[in-house]
Amino acid sequence: MDSAFDDLLREELEALETRAQRRRLRGFGVMDGGLCDGNGRPLVDLSSNDYLGLSRHPLVTTRAAEWARRHGAGPPASRLVTGTRDITLAVEEKLAAFKGREAALLFSSGFQANATVIPALARLGTIVGAGNTANATAIFSDELNHASIIHGARAARCPVHVFRHNDLDHLDALLAGHAGRKLVATESVFSMDGDRADLGRLAQVAARHGALLYVDEAHATGILGPQGRGLAAAVPGIDVVMGTLGKAFGAFGAYVAGSRALIDWLTNRCSGFIFTTALPPPVLGAVDAALELVPGMDAERARVAANAQRLRAALAAQGISTLASTTQIVPAVIGAEADTLAASAALEAEGFVAVAIRPPTVAAGSSRLRLAINSTLTAPELDRLLAVLAASLPRR
Ligand SMILES: Cc1ncc(COP(=O)(O)O)c(C=O)c1O
């Protein structure tokens, strides 16, 4: 029987439908390693973050299966109980070396890391300085930061200052107005725009104001920076680097990397690390294999970069904005929600999946197809994609 609560839920869903903002789950099939629709028709996936195609790499899938057989399907405990195995520590050590940091800590997901590490860091100093409100942290967050960073900043229950996207003069001015502890949070590659933060300058601005710098490398890890080590790898002065393992690594989970002291402290103070079950052995196996493969994949990274550039040029020739994208993430900005849904449907009719990205994920009026180039996209597929985009997107 429906309750008043259900009526209200349905009313809200109808309001979203009217605004072309309602989302629905859809189950894709998988055939010959690629996506297919309900009728078994193959689809080229332009919405996946598996930028290097590693989720299907034989070394990755074999090691995942092997570690499941050897160590079990799941660790039935959290990390500080019996969920830490020798393989967990070995993968963390490899991750730290990959990121060029003293230590690394695995998390169940990127969302969980951002949502809980940021509030933990905002409480830094409350053990030794209990009650000292002069030490209260303020958080400075880029306006395009991912929902999980926003969640973390809100959960920290401290003042949050949002700076204009990639506007470091604005950040500088905001930092100058705060006397206590400061934490600056940014993504190195912005997930919906595909542009980059100027990490070198950001590190200088943060250092000038004594602010802790927190960088989310979800969309850079594996695909950008020297040997795919991320954009933070080449920049000194970044205190905390997090990244995800469910994107270019083709696996699952996330990591935080930094100094030994940072990792030891998070092990003691971060709720999203302490009060949850450890990552399972098959995932650790997949991450372990990806860590071996990623540094040697420069050819794949170069192909992705060249294909993304070709896609941007083709969209620009049609008068379609790709914003400030310089990475494998190429937004084709359509504008209205309904038009973006129509563009997505037109692409799918031709065998390409490019899910429409709409508010609240992006700002009103900037709905887009977020086209993610990965290394498994073939030259004929890209040629066909450009032809389909030319035919199905309105010229501007
Ligand atoms: C920038 C950014 N940070 C964090 C996350 C969350 O990572 P995860 O999917 O591992 O929860 C995402 C994923 O969508 C992201 O784009």
Asked whether residue 81 is assigned to any structural domain, the reply reads yes
Q: Is 207 part of any domain?
A: yes
Q: Which protein residue has the closest C-alpha to ligand 1 atom 7?
A: 110
Are β-strands 329-335 and 367-372 bridged in parallel, bridged antiparallel, or unpaired?
antiparallel
Tell me, yes or no, whether 103 and 47 share the same domain: no
Of 295, 324, 352, the one marking the end of a domain is 295
Q: Look up 216 and say whether it is catalytic.
A: yes
Q: How many residues does the chain have?
A: 396
d(CA 49, CA 369): 14
CA of 218 to the centre of ligand 1 (A): 6
Atom 10, ligand 1: which residue's CA is nearest?
110
What span, in angstroms and rounded, lies between the C-alpha atoms of 92 and 266?
14
Kindly give the distance from the C-alpha atom of residue 7 to the centroid of ligand 1, in angstroms, as a whole number.
32
Q: What's the number of domains the chain is made of?
A: 2
Q: Which residues contact 125 (CB under 8 A, 6 or more apart)?
A: 132, 135, 181
Same domain for 128 and 240, yes or no, is: yes
pLDDT at res. 131: 58
Q: Distance from the CA of 111 to the center of ligand 1, in angstroms?
A: 6
Both 174 and 285 in a single domain? yes
Do 118 and 154 lie in a common domain?
A: yes
Q: Per-residue pLDDT for 333 more than 70?
A: yes
Tell whether 239 is covered by a domain: yes
Which pLDDT score, from 0 to 100, does residue 157 have? 93
CA-to-CA distance for 63 and 67, rounded, in angstroms? 6
pLDDT at residue 129, rounded to an integer:
66
Please check whether residue 45 is in contact with residue 381, taking contact to mean a CB–CB distance below 8 angstroms: no
In this structure, is residue 107 part of a structural domain?
yes
Please pick, among 161, 166, 247, 288, the residue that the annotation labels catalytic: 247
One domain, residues 138 and 192: yes
In the chain, % of residues over pLDDT 70 = 98
Q: Is 109 in the pocket of ligand 1 (CB under 6 A)?
A: yes
The answer to whether 94 is a known catalytic residue is no
191 Cβ below 6 A of ligand 1: yes
> Are 263 and 138 part of one and the same domain?
yes
Looking at 295, 326, 350, which one is the last position of a domain?
295
Do 27 and 134 lie in one domain? The reply is no
The answer to whether position 317 is within a domain reads yes
Instruction: Assess whether the C-beta atom of 148 lies below 6 angstroms from ligand 1.
Output: yes
Please check whether residues 184 and 289 belong to one and the same domain: yes
Domain shared by 139 and 231, yes or no? yes
Domain boundaries, position 103? 58-295
Please state the atom number of ligand 1 nearest to the C-alpha of residue 145: 1
Atom of ligand 1 nearest to the CA of 245: 10
**Which of 48, 106, 191, 231 should be mutated for ligand 1, with most atoms under 8 A from CB?**
191
One domain, residues 356 and 246: no
Distance CA 311, CA 42 (A): 22
Confidence of residue 202 (pLDDT cuts 50, 70, 90): very high
CB of 327 within 6 A of ligand 1: the answer is no
On whether residue 11 sits in a domain, the answer given is no
The whole-number pLDDT of residue 252 equals 98
Q: Residue 15 falls within a domain, yes or no?
A: no
Asked whether residue 172 is domain-assigned, the answer is yes
Same-domain pairing of 40 and 79: no
- Give every CB contact of residue 186 below 8 A, 6+ residues apart in sequence: 141, 142, 145, 197, 199, 202, 213, 214, 215, 216
CATH label of the domain that carries residue 139: 3.40.640.10
Catalytic residue check, 325 = no
Q: Is the pLDDT of residue 16 over 70?
A: yes
Pocket test for ligand 1, best of 142, 146, 287 (most atoms within 8 A of CB): 146
pLDDT at 134 (0 to 100): 52
Q: Is 165 a catalytic residue?
A: no
Segment 107-146, tens digit of pLDDT:
999 999 999 999 999 999 877 766 565 567 999 999 999 9
146 lines ligand 1 (CB under 6 A): yes
Mean predicted confidence (pLDDT) in 221-228: 98
**pLDDT category of residue 325 using cuts at 50, 70 and 90:** very high
**CATH code, 326:** 3.90.1150.10
Active-site residue, 99 included: no
**245 and 350 belong to one structural domain:** no
**Which residue of the set 142, 193, 219, 288 is catalytic?**
219
Last residue of a domain, one of 271, 295, 319: 295
Helical H runs in the chain? 4-18, 58-71, 86-99, 110-122, 147-155, 168-176, 199-208, 260-269, 271-274, 281-293, 298-317, 337-349, 379-392
The pLDDT value recorded for residue 33 is: 84
Distance between CA atoms of residues 354 and 392, nearest Å:
13
Would the CB of 122 count as within 6 Å of ligand 1? no
What tens digit of pLDDT does each residue of 344-353 get? 999 999 999 9
Nearest to 194 by CA among 239, 226, 231, 139: 231
SS3 290: helix
